[in-house]
Amino acid sequence: MTAPLRLGIAGLGTVGVGVVRILRKRAALLSARTGRDISISAVSARDATKDRGVNLSSYAWEDDPVALATRDDVDVFVELMGGSEGAARDATEAALAAGKHVVTANKALLAIHGQALAEQAEAAGLMIRYEAAVAGGIPVIKALLEGLAGNEITRVMGVMNGTCNYILTRMEADGLGYEALFEEAGKLGYLEADPTLDVGGIDAGHKLAILSSIAFGTRVNFDAVELEGIQRIELEDIRQAADMGYRIKLLGLAQRTARGLEQRMQPCLVPANSPLGQLEGGTNMVVIEGDAVEQVVLRGPGAGEGPTASAVVGDICDLARGMRVPVFGQPATTLEAARPAQSGLPAPYYLRMALMDKPGALAKIATALGEAGISINRMRQYGHSEPTAPVLIVTHKTTRAALDMALSAMQETGVLAGDPVALRIENL
């Protein structure tokens, strides 16, 4: 039998502990599948005294992840700490410099430094695997890198953040507010160390930027993702959307257009009876469209210990088997710097706003829309809470640029009480 594959694992939180558990519980199965034993040489986290619910006594402990990453008895550095800078970046770079392969679940690191890390790894003949970085337990990276390699990919879209989907579906089902749901998502192990990355759409934006790179052969460009989080979505929006037969989802979409590479991650209304509309809780869905395959839909748990650890262990198995694939599917030096494009395709929009309850207020809003060339499909004033009147408008198809023009004209009218909520309607 080939010599064991020796791991150094930095990060023993939700994902790290999950990985240790699978490696211990399934040692014989993994050995049978890969043809070699997979062993853990050393581990690292911030607090050596914390009880993590797994027995770590047979592994060496390193306080410093860089020291762990460069140990002689480590073949693969498994980075499960998180963050685009600091320990995660330093230790990953050190591991590559020391000739170690890397497995990571860290989308922030790859979305910001993926190009440089891929170039460093490939120049040294090393692999970086990151299945867990996008959509948790769904093998979407593998699907794009390997199974769909024969396709020109035309579009990638989906729901890629478990926390946001959990919050949005539980808000609708149980009428709960953000605070209670944050606590629940935390207990389920879904949240990032900084949960504003989740609700701000940033975590999902990181994931979309990584998928775009593989799908379109472009350098990861997270800065070009049009980004909007779910923080402004209220129970009222969820109820109004449901009333019209829609659900609100944090939806990502990346596609090549004649204007350049469009990447957007934003809350949208999708038909409640569509596959995306029916996603519940921490479930993710990624839809990939290619010229030969047409459409592939991948659905599964997007966060939490088991699913994420499953993806990390899958990557470790690939390395144990000796698999070699360029980090983003083609040599990093050949990836193109794509021209970013703002989303141009027109869509209907949902607008919710509170108006000062005075004569002519509604007319001013209708005028602002009309002057931007936007036609109203439905409009209604519902309920009444002195001194403002809540108003809901659904537009006919329009562009985001025209809508932005109308929204800024509305601000000038002096009849708005607060900023309107504007959500794209995707009739998938």
Q: Is 289 in the site for ligand HSE (CB under 6 A)?
A: no
Could you say which of ligand NAP, ligand HSE, none residue 11 binds, taking C-beta under 5 to 8 angstroms by partner kind?
Answer: ligand NAP
Of the pair 205, 348, the CB lying nearest ligand HSE is at: 205
**Cross-strand partners of 103:** 78, 129
Min dist CB 360 to ligand HSE, Å, is 45
283 binds, among ligand NAP, ligand HSE, none (CB under 5 to 8 A by kind): none
Backbone angles phi, psi at 341, to 5 degrees: -125, 135
Q: What CA–CA distance (Å, rounded) separates 312 from 306?
A: 10
Q: How far apart are the first and last CA of the chain?
A: 51
**Number of residues binding to ligand HSE, judged by CB under 6 A:** 11
Residue 178 one-letter amino acid: Y
Q: How many residues bind ligand NAP (CB under 6 A)?
A: 30
- Selected from 11, 200, 314, 329, the binder of ligand NAP by CB under 6 A is 11
207 a catalytic residue: yes
Select the residue whose beta carbon is closest to ligand NAP and give its number. Answer: 13
The answer to whether residue 161 forms part of the interface with ligand HSE (CB under 6 A) is yes
120 scored as a contact of ligand HSE (CB under 6 A): no
193 binds ligand NAP (CB under 6 A): yes
Choices 120-128, 186-194, 351-359, 392-400; region in contact with ligand HSE by CB under 6 A: 186-194
Assigned token pair, 195: 């949960």
Cβ partners under 8 Å of residue 110, min gap 6: 104, 117, 128, 130, 133, 206, 210, 220
Report if residue 136 touches ligand NAP, rule: CB under 6 A. yes
Q: Which does 45 bind (CB under 5 to 8 A by kind): ligand HSE, ligand NAP, none?
A: ligand NAP
CB of 250 vs ligand HSE, minimal distance in Å = 10
Buried b (16+ CB within 10 A) or exposed e, 274-296: eebbebebbbbbbbbbbeeeeeb
Among ligand NAP, ligand HSE, none, what binds residue 161 when CB lies within 5 to 8 Å by partner kind? Answer: ligand HSE
Residue 86 or residue 245: which is nearer to ligand NAP going by CB? Answer: 86
| Binding characters for ligand HSE, 201-220, by CB under 6 A (x = yes) | --x-----------------
Note whether 198 binds ligand HSE by CB under 6 A. Answer: yes
Q: Encode burial over 324-351: b for 16+ CB neighbours within 10 A, e otherwise.
A: eebbbbbebeebeebebbebeebbbbbb
Q: Does 163 bind ligand HSE (CB under 6 A)?
A: yes
Helix orientation angle between 202-216 and 107-123, rounded to the nearest 10 degrees: 30
Binding site for ligand NAP (CB under 6 A): 10-16, 44-47, 50, 65, 80-82, 86-87, 105-107, 132, 136, 189-190, 192-193, 303-304, 308
**Would you name the residues annotated as active-site residues?**
207
List residues binding ligand HSE (CB under 6 A): 136, 161-163, 190-192, 198, 203, 302-303
